Amino acid sequence: MANKNLFRTLRGALAPKATTRNDAGGPAYGLSDKAALARIAATGCLTPTFYASAENQLDRVLELAARVDVDFLAKTALYARRRGHMKDMPALLCAVLATRDMDRLEEIFPQVIDNGRMLRNFVQIVRSGVTGRKSLGSGPKRLVRRWLERATDRNLLQASIGNSPSLADVVKMVHPRPENATREAFYGWLLGRPYDADALPRLVREFESWKLDRSGEVPEVPFQMLTALELGAREWAAIAGGASWQTTRMNLNAFSRHGVFRFGGMADKLAARLSHPELVRRSRVLPYQLLVAYLNTSKEVPEKVREALQDAMEVALENVPRIDGSVVVCPDVSGSMQWPVTGWQKGASSAVRCVDVAGLVAAAILRTNRSARVLPFEVDVVDANLNPRDSVMTNAEKLTKVGGGGTNCSAPLAMLNREKAAPDLVIFVSDNESWVDGNHGGRGTAVMAEWEKLKQRNPRAKLVCIDIVPNSTTQAPDRDDILNIGGFSDAVFGIIGSFAKDGNGTDHWIREIENETLTERIKIA
């Protein structure tokens, strides 16, 4: 008879062998160069996380970028900007491409470097020397000049906000040739040189006039240009009254500090704007951005305005799918999830933590799929007592107040196996840095050992692993029934719904990126 002690873990042996260690030291599965670059490009912010320094992340990206072909590199930059709405990462990949293939860079440049901030990011990264060159060089200079030539007056005015480098610095570097008197006057105004005031763009003329006499209409220039001036409460109230939906969301604390809500009716007006369903839809606000606004809003902001952000969240989550079958959501509430979601930056860290995003995703799915089961975990599964009828914000906040221990990603699956449960879809929201279960005795990760046991009861079951920090490893490798997702935009919900219905997780992100078209109609915004 076979030795039972030797062969007692047969089911666990069905799991593929772990190929590497994650940043926490636990067994994990390494991703291919393309898959790793895709994941990091879609979620990486190049700032320190709980386990990895900014320098380590930068080195990892540069190594991966050097190992993939230039077409995939270009498409990854496009994907990170178009779909992931990232800023630093696509600019970095363009800077790498400048050292490898100028033809490819020229093809994608206007599509990735699509606004003034992206232009300044690109210039800053190239001149830093991290990609192998410290000056722009003739090719990148030509692309920057072309960007400036194609930009509208409003584009340039928006681009003038910000430093290191400023737009004025960029203009001095590349020496664009003004194509008309208006652009010549603008460059003179921007650089602090003599200019023809009558030839200035209309918005700049209105701004300069308003600076002298503020009794008229507030000019429609970028918000930061107005707030950089010495303003009184009435002027702030006028600005708030005419602000866009996004400007309102992003400046509630500033409005409060400058006395806007002391004017009768302003709280009602701004609350009505923020909660207006059509304005929310038109703004294309991400649920994550609303979470940022809600968590950052001070207690001095009127409660009705804060509640309006909750109403906006309900509208923004209209595309969370209803999923057939039984659903289990497993948000990671371990200690590492207390880290800021965009990494730690001295004096500038986000108020939103990884655990806040995990709570948001879990609460959003529960709101639409009220029979879903939520199993928060750290070392083990912890109780959160969620009510599916509560608002997304309320349930998300409840999830952030439990947990805090080590990371054991296999804990929810082990609990389901003990119960002999057979869910159709299991969704993890984690940083994927499982280590507590690292010595489970199997040849693969504990997550895969437990998943294979669950699959014995329900062969149709599917697993989604949402990784909300930039990792190049996973606890469960991509295959037909397993999908790894990097990032936390609202697009995640649609991807989950599609996968649950009839999707295939194998190389999902590589396929997504390779489907990007390199050339499309140029639009600078």
pLDDT band at 11, cuts 50/70/90? very low
Say if 334 falls within a structural domain: yes
CA-closest candidate to residue 18, choices 510, 476, 431, 480: 476
* DSSP string of 454-472, one letter each residue: HHHH-TT-EEEEEE-S--S
Residue 314 and residue 391 in contact, taking contact as beta carbons nearer than 8 Å: yes
pLDDT band at 494, cuts 50/70/90? confident
450 is in which domain, residue-wise? Answer: 12-27+320-514
To the nearest whole number, what is the mean pLDDT of the chain? 86
Say if 206 falls within a structural domain: no
**For residue 490, is pLDDT > 70?**
no
What's the domain count of the chain?
Answer: 1
**For residue 524, is pLDDT > 50?**
no
> What number is the average pLDDT over the span 180-192?
96
Say if 373 falls within a structural domain: yes
What predicted TM-score, i.e. pTM, was given to this entire model? Answer: 0.80
CA dihedral (173, 179, 181, 185) in degrees, to 10, reads -20
**For residue 6, is pLDDT > 50?**
no
pLDDT value of position 388: 86
pLDDT band at 517, cuts 50/70/90? confident
Say if 279 falls within a structural domain: no
**192-250 pLDDT tens trace:** 999 999 999 999 999 999 888 887 788 888 888 988 888 889 889 988 998 999 999 99
**330-367 pLDDT tens trace:** 999 998 888 777 655 555 455 678 888 888 888 888 98
Long-range contacts made by residues 173-179, C-beta under 8 angstroms, separation at least 24? 173/123, 173/136, 173/141, 173/144, 174/136, 174/141, 174/144, 174/145, 174/148, 175/145, 176/145, 176/148, 176/149, 177/145, 179/149
Say if 409 falls within a structural domain: yes
**What CATH number is given to the structural domain containing 439?**
3.40.50.410
How many whole angstroms separate alpha carbon 485 and alpha carbon 429? Answer: 9
pLDDT value of position 183: 96
Distance of CA 210 to the CA centre of its chain: 37
Distance of CA 398 to the CA centre of its chain: 23
**For residue 49, is pLDDT > 60?**
no
CA-closest candidate to residue 141, choices 158, 161, 119: 119
Could you tell me what percent of the chain has a pLDDT over 90? Answer: 49
The pair of three-digit structure tokens given for residue 85, joined into one six-digit string: 């709405």
Residue 136 and residue 173 in contact, taking contact as beta carbons nearer than 8 Å: yes
CA-closest candidate to residue 328, choices 388, 400, 416: 416
> What number is the average pLDDT over the span 269-291?
89
Q: pLDDT higher for 45 or 167?
A: 167
**Cβ-based neighbour number of residue 497 at 10 Å:** 18
Say if 52 falls within a structural domain: no
Say if 423 falls within a structural domain: yes
**427-484 pLDDT tens trace:** 999 988 888 887 776 778 999 999 999 999 999 999 999 888 767 788 999 889 998 8
**387-400 pLDDT tens trace:** 888 888 888 888 88
Name the one residue in this structure whose structure tokens are 């998300």: 396
- CA distances to 176, 233, 243, 256, 269 from 237, rounded to whole Å, are 39, 6, 10, 10, 11
CA-closest candidate to residue 390, choices 412, 362, 418: 362
**For residue 523, is pLDDT > 50?**
no
Residue 357 and residue 288 in contact, taking contact as beta carbons nearer than 8 Å: yes
> What number is the average pLDDT over the span 84-109?
92
How many whole angstroms separate alpha carbon 95 and alpha carbon 48? Answer: 21
Q: pLDDT higher for 193 or 23?
A: 193
pLDDT band at 7, cuts 50/70/90? very low
**For residue 314, is pLDDT > 80?**
yes
> What number is the average pLDDT over the span 488-498?
74
Evaluated on CA atoms 244, 250, 252, 253, the torsion sign reads negative
pLDDT value of position 221: 87
pLDDT value of position 262: 93
Q: Which residues contact 395 (CB under 8 A, 6 or more apart)?
A: 359, 362, 363, 366, 367, 386, 387, 388
